[in-house]
Amino acid sequence: MRKILIVFITFAIGFNFIPTVSAQFNVDKIREQINKEIGRLEKKASTAADNQEKRLSKIKETAGKLIDKRVNDLNKLLTRIENDKKLSTEEKTTLKAGIQASIDGLAALKAKIQADTDIDTAKQDTKTIITSYYVYKIFIPKIRLSIAISTLEELSTNLSSLSNEIQNLIDTLKNEGKDVSSLEQLLDDMTSRIQAINTTLLNDKTKLASITLSTSDATPIFVEVRQDLAKVRSEFAKIRYDIAQMRADFKIVLKTSKGASVTP
Protein backbone atom coordinates (compact mmCIF):
# COMPACT_ATOMS: atom_id res chain seq x y z
CA MET A 1 0.00 0.00 0.00
CA ARG A 2 2.80 2.35 0.96
CA LYS A 3 4.58 1.51 -2.28
CA ILE A 4 1.45 2.25 -4.31
CA LEU A 5 1.06 5.61 -2.54
CA ILE A 6 4.61 6.61 -3.33
CA VAL A 7 4.14 5.77 -6.99
CA PHE A 8 0.89 7.71 -7.08
CA ILE A 9 2.45 10.80 -5.49
CA THR A 10 5.41 10.61 -7.84
CA PHE A 11 3.12 10.36 -10.87
CA ALA A 12 1.04 13.29 -9.63
CA ILE A 13 4.11 15.47 -9.18
CA GLY A 14 5.39 14.54 -12.63
CA PHE A 15 1.99 15.18 -14.17
CA ASN A 16 1.79 18.65 -12.63
CA PHE A 17 5.34 19.49 -13.78
CA ILE A 18 4.81 18.68 -17.48
CA PRO A 19 2.72 21.77 -18.36
CA THR A 20 5.33 23.99 -16.71
CA VAL A 21 8.17 22.58 -18.80
CA SER A 22 6.07 22.73 -21.96
CA ALA A 23 5.28 26.38 -21.26
CA GLN A 24 8.94 27.20 -20.83
CA PHE A 25 10.03 25.36 -23.98
CA ASN A 26 7.26 26.11 -26.47
CA VAL A 27 8.70 24.90 -29.76
CA ASP A 28 6.49 27.08 -31.96
CA LYS A 29 7.35 30.19 -30.01
CA ILE A 30 11.04 29.44 -30.17
CA ARG A 31 10.78 28.80 -33.90
CA GLU A 32 9.01 32.14 -34.33
CA GLN A 33 11.72 33.95 -32.41
CA ILE A 34 14.43 32.25 -34.45
CA ASN A 35 12.71 33.20 -37.70
CA LYS A 36 12.42 36.80 -36.53
CA GLU A 37 16.11 36.89 -35.67
CA ILE A 38 17.01 35.37 -39.02
CA GLY A 39 14.85 37.95 -40.77
CA ARG A 40 16.49 40.76 -38.81
CA LEU A 41 19.96 39.51 -39.68
CA GLU A 42 19.05 39.09 -43.34
CA LYS A 43 17.69 42.64 -43.43
CA LYS A 44 20.80 43.94 -41.74
CA ALA A 45 22.99 42.03 -44.19
CA SER A 46 20.96 43.35 -47.11
CA THR A 47 21.28 46.91 -45.82
CA ALA A 48 25.02 46.46 -45.35
CA ALA A 49 25.33 45.08 -48.87
CA ASP A 50 23.38 48.05 -50.24
CA ASN A 51 25.63 50.44 -48.33
CA GLN A 52 28.73 48.68 -49.66
CA GLU A 53 27.41 48.91 -53.19
CA LYS A 54 26.65 52.61 -52.75
CA ARG A 55 30.13 53.27 -51.37
CA LEU A 56 31.72 51.35 -54.23
CA SER A 57 29.62 53.27 -56.74
CA LYS A 58 30.62 56.57 -55.14
CA ILE A 59 34.32 55.67 -55.28
CA LYS A 60 34.00 54.80 -58.97
CA GLU A 61 32.16 58.05 -59.66
CA THR A 62 34.83 60.11 -57.89
CA ALA A 63 37.65 58.27 -59.65
CA GLY A 64 35.97 58.79 -63.01
CA LYS A 65 35.74 62.54 -62.43
CA LEU A 66 39.37 62.77 -61.33
CA ILE A 67 40.54 60.88 -64.40
CA ASP A 68 38.30 62.79 -66.82
CA LYS A 69 39.61 66.12 -65.54
CA ARG A 70 43.20 65.04 -65.94
CA VAL A 71 42.63 63.65 -69.42
CA ASN A 72 40.85 66.86 -70.41
CA ASP A 73 43.73 69.01 -69.16
CA LEU A 74 46.28 66.78 -70.88
CA ASN A 75 44.40 67.08 -74.18
CA LYS A 76 44.50 70.86 -73.78
CA LEU A 77 48.25 70.61 -73.33
CA LEU A 78 48.52 68.53 -76.50
CA THR A 79 46.72 71.27 -78.42
CA ARG A 80 48.87 73.97 -76.86
CA ILE A 81 52.07 72.14 -77.72
CA GLU A 82 50.94 71.48 -81.28
CA ASN A 83 50.10 75.16 -81.82
CA ASP A 84 53.20 76.53 -80.11
CA LYS A 85 55.53 78.26 -82.58
CA LYS A 86 58.56 78.32 -80.33
CA LEU A 87 59.01 74.64 -79.46
CA SER A 88 61.16 72.66 -81.83
CA THR A 89 59.76 69.64 -83.66
CA GLU A 90 61.88 67.35 -81.48
CA GLU A 91 60.62 69.00 -78.30
CA LYS A 92 57.03 68.72 -79.45
CA THR A 93 57.43 65.04 -80.30
CA THR A 94 58.96 64.22 -76.90
CA LEU A 95 56.39 66.15 -74.88
CA LYS A 96 53.42 64.85 -76.87
CA ALA A 97 54.59 61.24 -76.53
CA GLY A 98 54.75 61.57 -72.75
CA ILE A 99 51.32 63.17 -72.57
CA GLN A 100 49.71 60.55 -74.80
CA ALA A 101 51.21 57.76 -72.69
CA SER A 102 49.60 59.29 -69.61
CA ILE A 103 46.24 59.66 -71.35
CA ASP A 104 46.31 56.00 -72.41
CA GLY A 105 47.34 54.90 -68.93
CA LEU A 106 44.57 56.90 -67.27
CA ALA A 107 42.00 55.45 -69.68
CA ALA A 108 43.10 51.92 -68.79
CA LEU A 109 43.02 52.75 -65.08
CA LYS A 110 39.49 54.13 -65.40
CA ALA A 111 38.32 50.91 -67.04
CA LYS A 112 39.91 48.85 -64.26
CA ILE A 113 38.30 50.91 -61.50
CA GLN A 114 34.88 50.62 -63.12
CA ALA A 115 35.33 46.84 -63.16
CA ASP A 116 36.42 46.62 -59.50
CA THR A 117 34.06 44.58 -57.33
CA ASP A 118 35.22 45.48 -53.84
CA ILE A 119 35.82 48.75 -52.01
CA ASP A 120 39.41 48.12 -50.94
CA THR A 121 40.58 47.43 -54.49
CA ALA A 122 38.68 50.41 -55.88
CA LYS A 123 40.17 52.71 -53.24
CA GLN A 124 43.68 51.46 -53.92
CA ASP A 125 43.25 51.91 -57.67
CA THR A 126 41.85 55.40 -57.14
CA LYS A 127 44.95 56.38 -55.17
CA THR A 128 47.12 55.54 -58.16
CA ILE A 129 45.47 58.38 -60.08
CA ILE A 130 47.59 60.68 -57.94
CA THR A 131 50.52 58.46 -56.98
CA SER A 132 51.25 57.12 -60.48
CA TYR A 133 50.07 59.94 -62.76
CA TYR A 134 51.62 63.24 -61.67
CA VAL A 135 49.60 65.33 -64.11
CA TYR A 136 49.50 68.47 -61.99
CA LYS A 137 52.63 67.85 -59.94
CA ILE A 138 55.00 67.07 -62.81
CA PHE A 139 53.58 67.10 -66.32
CA ILE A 140 51.86 70.48 -66.48
CA PRO A 141 54.65 72.42 -64.69
CA LYS A 142 57.27 70.73 -66.86
CA ILE A 143 55.52 71.61 -70.10
CA ARG A 144 54.77 75.19 -69.07
CA LEU A 145 58.39 75.75 -68.10
CA SER A 146 59.56 74.12 -71.35
CA ILE A 147 57.40 76.53 -73.34
CA ALA A 148 58.66 79.47 -71.27
CA ILE A 149 62.27 78.47 -71.98
CA SER A 150 61.57 78.18 -75.71
CA THR A 151 60.01 81.65 -75.68
CA LEU A 152 63.05 83.12 -73.96
CA GLU A 153 65.38 81.26 -76.33
CA GLU A 154 63.62 82.85 -79.29
CA LEU A 155 64.01 86.28 -77.71
CA SER A 156 67.69 85.59 -77.11
CA THR A 157 68.14 84.54 -80.75
CA ASN A 158 66.51 87.75 -81.96
CA LEU A 159 68.73 89.82 -79.68
CA SER A 160 71.80 87.98 -80.97
CA SER A 161 70.83 88.95 -84.52
CA LEU A 162 70.32 92.52 -83.38
CA SER A 163 73.73 92.58 -81.70
CA ASN A 164 75.33 91.49 -84.99
CA GLU A 165 73.62 94.35 -86.81
CA ILE A 166 74.74 96.78 -84.13
CA GLN A 167 78.30 95.46 -84.41
CA ASN A 168 78.27 96.09 -88.17
CA LEU A 169 77.03 99.63 -87.64
CA ILE A 170 79.66 100.30 -84.98
CA ASP A 171 82.39 98.96 -87.28
CA THR A 172 81.20 101.27 -90.07
CA LEU A 173 81.27 104.31 -87.80
CA LYS A 174 84.64 103.29 -86.39
CA ASN A 175 86.09 103.03 -89.90
CA GLU A 176 84.86 106.56 -90.46
CA GLY A 177 86.95 107.66 -87.52
CA LYS A 178 84.10 108.11 -85.08
CA ASP A 179 84.46 107.60 -81.33
CA VAL A 180 82.45 104.46 -80.66
CA SER A 181 84.11 103.39 -77.40
CA SER A 182 80.92 103.87 -75.38
CA LEU A 183 78.93 101.90 -77.94
CA GLU A 184 81.47 99.08 -77.88
CA GLN A 185 81.29 98.81 -74.10
CA LEU A 186 77.50 98.63 -74.16
CA LEU A 187 77.55 96.05 -76.96
CA ASP A 188 80.11 93.93 -75.09
CA ASP A 189 77.86 94.00 -72.04
CA MET A 190 74.86 93.03 -74.18
CA THR A 191 76.73 90.17 -75.85
CA SER A 192 78.05 88.86 -72.55
CA ARG A 193 74.58 88.82 -71.03
CA ILE A 194 73.13 87.01 -74.05
CA GLN A 195 75.78 84.31 -73.76
CA ALA A 196 75.04 83.88 -70.04
CA ILE A 197 71.32 83.67 -70.79
CA ASN A 198 71.85 80.98 -73.43
CA THR A 199 73.95 78.92 -71.02
CA THR A 200 71.32 79.17 -68.30
CA LEU A 201 68.47 78.23 -70.63
CA LEU A 202 70.39 75.25 -72.01
CA ASN A 203 71.10 73.99 -68.50
CA ASP A 204 67.46 74.42 -67.52
CA LYS A 205 66.31 72.43 -70.56
CA THR A 206 68.60 69.61 -69.47
CA LYS A 207 67.16 69.71 -65.95
CA LEU A 208 63.59 69.52 -67.24
CA ALA A 209 64.46 66.68 -69.61
CA SER A 210 65.62 64.63 -66.62
CA ILE A 211 62.13 64.77 -65.10
CA THR A 212 59.87 61.82 -65.91
CA LEU A 213 56.63 60.44 -64.48
CA SER A 214 58.71 58.20 -62.24
CA THR A 215 60.48 61.18 -60.65
CA SER A 216 59.52 61.02 -56.98
CA ASP A 217 59.93 64.73 -56.26
CA ALA A 218 60.50 67.25 -59.05
CA THR A 219 59.70 70.28 -56.90
CA PRO A 220 63.34 71.24 -56.20
CA ILE A 221 64.11 71.20 -59.93
CA PHE A 222 61.05 73.28 -60.77
CA VAL A 223 61.95 75.81 -58.08
CA GLU A 224 65.50 76.06 -59.41
CA VAL A 225 64.36 76.49 -63.01
CA ARG A 226 61.84 79.18 -62.04
CA GLN A 227 64.56 81.05 -60.16
CA ASP A 228 66.82 80.79 -63.21
CA LEU A 229 64.10 82.12 -65.50
CA ALA A 230 63.51 85.04 -63.15
CA LYS A 231 67.23 85.88 -63.40
CA VAL A 232 67.09 85.51 -67.18
CA ARG A 233 64.21 87.98 -67.39
CA SER A 234 66.21 90.35 -65.22
CA GLU A 235 69.13 90.01 -67.63
CA PHE A 236 66.84 90.81 -70.55
CA ALA A 237 65.76 93.96 -68.74
CA LYS A 238 69.42 95.01 -68.44
CA ILE A 239 69.94 94.28 -72.13
CA ARG A 240 67.00 96.52 -72.96
CA TYR A 241 68.71 99.22 -70.93
CA ASP A 242 71.94 98.69 -72.92
CA ILE A 243 70.00 98.99 -76.16
CA ALA A 244 68.33 102.19 -74.98
CA GLN A 245 71.74 103.64 -74.07
CA MET A 246 73.19 102.61 -77.43
CA ARG A 247 70.28 104.23 -79.22
CA ALA A 248 71.05 107.49 -77.45
CA ASP A 249 74.79 107.18 -78.15
CA PHE A 250 74.16 106.42 -81.82
CA LYS A 251 72.15 109.62 -82.11
CA ILE A 252 75.01 111.60 -80.60
CA VAL A 253 77.62 109.98 -82.84
CA LEU A 254 75.51 110.41 -85.97
CA LYS A 255 74.66 113.99 -85.05
CA THR A 256 78.34 114.76 -84.52
CA SER A 257 79.13 113.13 -87.83
CA LYS A 258 76.51 115.20 -89.61
CA GLY A 259 77.73 118.40 -88.01
CA ALA A 260 81.30 117.63 -88.94
CA SER A 261 80.39 117.02 -92.56
CA VAL A 262 79.00 120.53 -93.04
CA THR A 263 81.91 122.27 -91.36
CA PRO A 264 84.31 123.86 -93.91
Residue-level pLDDT at 30: 63
- Residue 113's Cβ-count burial label (10 Å; 0-12, 13-18, 19+) is buried
- Highest-confidence range of 14-18, 54-58, 64-68, 138-142, by mean pLDDT? 64-68
pLDDT interval class at 17 (50, 70, 90)? very low
Tally Cβ neighbours within 10 Å of residue 142. 24
pLDDT interval class at 136 (50, 70, 90)? confident
**Residue 6 covered by a domain:** no
* Residue pair 195/154 in contact by the 8 Å Cβ criterion: no
Residue-level pLDDT at 200: 98
More confidently predicted of 44 and 1: 44
* Residue pair 196/238 in contact by the 8 Å Cβ criterion: no
Domain that holds residue 239: 135-261
Please write the tens of the pLDDT for every residue from 78-129: 998 998 888 888 889 988 988 898 899 999 999 999 999 888 998 999 888 8
Instruction: Using the predicted structure, report yes or no on whether residue 37 has a pLDDT greater than 70.
Output: no
pLDDT interval class at 54 (50, 70, 90)? confident
Domain boundary among 133, 161, 189: 133
Instruction: Specify the pTM.
Output: 0.69
**Residue 221 covered by a domain:** yes
Mark whether 144 and 128 lie in a shared domain.
no
Buried b (16+ CB within 10 A) or exposed e, 28-47: eeeeeeeeeeeeeeeeeeee
Task: Give me the number of domains the chain comprises.
Answer: 2
Domain boundary among 74, 100, 133: 133
Residue-level pLDDT at 156: 97
Mark whether 257 and 210 lie in a shared domain.
yes
**Residue 233 covered by a domain:** yes
Please write the tens of the pLDDT for every residue from 213-231: 778 789 999 999 999 999 9
**Residue 193 covered by a domain:** yes
pLDDT interval class at 134 (50, 70, 90)? confident
**DSSP annotation of 187:** H
Q: How far apart are CA 145 and CA 120, in angstroms?
A: 38
Mark whether 174 and 110 lie in a shared domain.
no
